[in-house]
Structure 1
Amino acid sequence: MADVIDFAPGGYRFIKGVSQYSAGVAAQPGFRLERVRFARPVPLAEGFDRIAAIIKAAGRPLTAFAACELRSPAPFTEQGFIDFNAIYITTLKEWGLFRDGLNPIARSNVCPEVFPPAEPSFYAFSFTTAAPDAPPSFVVAGSGEAPEGHATYHDHIVNRGDVSPEGLRGKARFVLAEMERRMAALGFTWADATAAQLYTVHDVHPFLADEIARRGAMRAGLTWHFNRPPVQELEYEMDCRGLAIEHVA
């Protein structure tokens, strides 16, 4: 079973993941998660400044930052992804979020195939606000078709190099199961999700009904972003959330 850790300074709990992100977050009782999507992607440094201003304006500490959705110019090499994460984590440490080698922030980081940003940028983020009677809320981090925690993605990609309908079906099955595993660790199912997001440039229609819709992942519809996952050779990624309040800034 996944390790779920209480992050009291933020008012949420998180699934222990890897150093660059957690596998998902859920608000603790007395708090709710709210999502803010930027009208257009905001470069990383400016984005952190805008996020800090929004969180502070809501009367919350920076440790209320709980999840983010990034957009990058193109898929990284394995080393490039490591280098990027080292830069990203620096601000989390400054904000008191990265502690004892644990990163509580859930994250997706994908690459638009059309109109990509010139540099890594924030697309959206989620944070906790105080709300005594709020219903439960959660954000599950993005996952591609390779298990986390290995030294590389390359050797563990499901159906690596196979983007045939059946190859993609296998990738989708892995990712959907990982979404369900993460939701279950936080106490949720697809019935609790208010949004599911898909990131691929490949045709999913051959298995959309029987693999995605029939297992409940489209109860609230499906938002398909024509994006690639963040590491070269990954082809299919999803994330999901269950939130009552979302904003556009």
Structure 2
Amino acid sequence: MYETRERPGDGYRYIPAVFQYSAGVAALPGFRIERVRFADPVPLAAGFARIADHLKGIGRPLSAFCQCELRSPGQFTEQGFRAFNLGYAKVLGEWGILSGTDNPVARSNVCPELSPPAEPGFHAFAYTVPDAGAAPSFATAGSGESTEGKGSYEEQTIALGDTSAAGMLRKAQFVLGEMEGRMQALGGSWAMATAAQVYTVHDIHPFLGEELARRGAARHGVTWQFCRPPVLGLEYEMDVRGLPLERVIPA
């Protein structure tokens, strides 16, 4: 069972994970989480500036920023991923979001197989807003088929290098278990989810019915993003959210 920690002033709680992101966020009573998607990915620096302007425009502090989805040109080596994450986390520190060794912001970062962006950037972001009568809302971070923070990705990867139907099933089962554990900690469930996203370039049809649909992940359909997870060697990733309001804005 995951623990959660609260940020009362910012209206959400989070699951502590690794320095680059939390494992998920949920609105505290009296708040809701809203998601905004850019029509096209916005490069990282410009994206942070657009997010800051958006938050200021609706009267929310920068620290209300609690979740984001990134798009990158291609998979990183573990060293390259760490270097990227240090630059990303530096901005969160400047925004007053980091709490000691905790990074409360949940995140997905995946790599489109076709028409990738020229550089890493924002696909979507989420934040809290006050709402006295809001129903619960949550968003998990993306998880690939590796346990984070317990050694290298390669050491922890399920069915490393195996993209057969059997290997992909093992990967999907592990990731589904991660999603369910995170949702439970956040007070969410498949029944409360409004969207489930799968990121892989491999065929999900062999387990779409027996795993995703049977467990409830396809209650509102499954969005299959033809993308790879961010680190070389990973082949399957998911994230889940239960949010009452989403909008799209021009890039």
Counterpart residue number, 1:47: 47
1:65 and 1:211 mapped to 2: Cα distance? 33
1:148 Cα deviation after fit: 1.2
Match of 1:116 in 2: 116
What is the match of residue 8 of structure 1?
8
Counterpart position of 1:196? 196
- Displacement of 1:155 in angstroms is 0.9
Which stretches of structure 1, 4 residues or longer, exceed 3 Å deviation after superposition?
none
Q: Secondary structure at the match of 2:149?
A: coil
SS of equivalent residue, structure 2 residue 141: strand
Aligned position for 1:72: 72
Match of 1:180 in 2: 180
**Structure 1 residues 187-239: Cα deviation after superposition (integer angstroms, max 9, x where no partner):** 11100000000000000111110011000000111111000000001000000
Q: Does 1:136 align with 2:136?
A: yes
Distance 2:84 2:9 in 1: 26
Pairing 1:58–2:51 present: no
CA–CA separation in structure 2 for the residues paired with 1:8 and 1:131? 14
> In the TM superposition, what whole-angstrom CA distance separates every residue of 1:93-118 from its partner, at most 9, and x where no partner exists?
00110111100000000000000000
Instruction: Quote the residue 2:92 is aligned against.
Output: 92
Cα drift, residue 121 of structure 1: 0.4
One-letter code aligned to 1:101: T
Instruction: Report the Cα distance in structure 1 between the residues aligned to 2:8 and 2:55, rounded to whole angstroms.
Output: 16
Instruction: Return the offset for 1:46.
Output: 0.2
Unaligned runs of 5+ in 2: none
1:248 partner letter: V
Structure 1: which 5+ runs fail to align? Answer: none
Q: Deviations over 1:1-46 (max 9, x none)?
A: 2120001232100001110000000000111000000000000000
Aligned to 1:9, the other structure's residue is in SS state: coil
State the distance in 2 between where 1:58 and 1:128 align: 11
Give the counterpart letter for 1:225 in structure 2. Answer: Q
Q: Distance in 2 between matches of 1:148 and 1:133?
A: 36
- Cα distance between partner residues in 2 of 1:152 and 1:73: 22
Q: Which residue of 1 aligns with 2:81?
A: 81
Using the size of structure 2 for normalisation, the TM-score is 0.98
Residues in 1 aligned to 2:231 and 2:128: alpha-carbon distance in whole angstroms = 29
CA–CA separation in structure 2 for the residues paired with 1:188 and 1:121: 28
Amino acid aligned to 1:172: A
Q: Distance in 2 between matches of 1:175 and 1:19?
A: 20
| Structure 1 SS opposite 2:85 | helix
Partners of 1:207 and 1:239 in 2: how far apart? 17
Amino acid at match of 1:44: L
Alignment root-mean-square deviation, CA? 0.6
**What is the distance in 2 between the residues matched to 1:135 and 1:8?**
17
For these two proteins, the number of residue pairs brought into alignment is 249
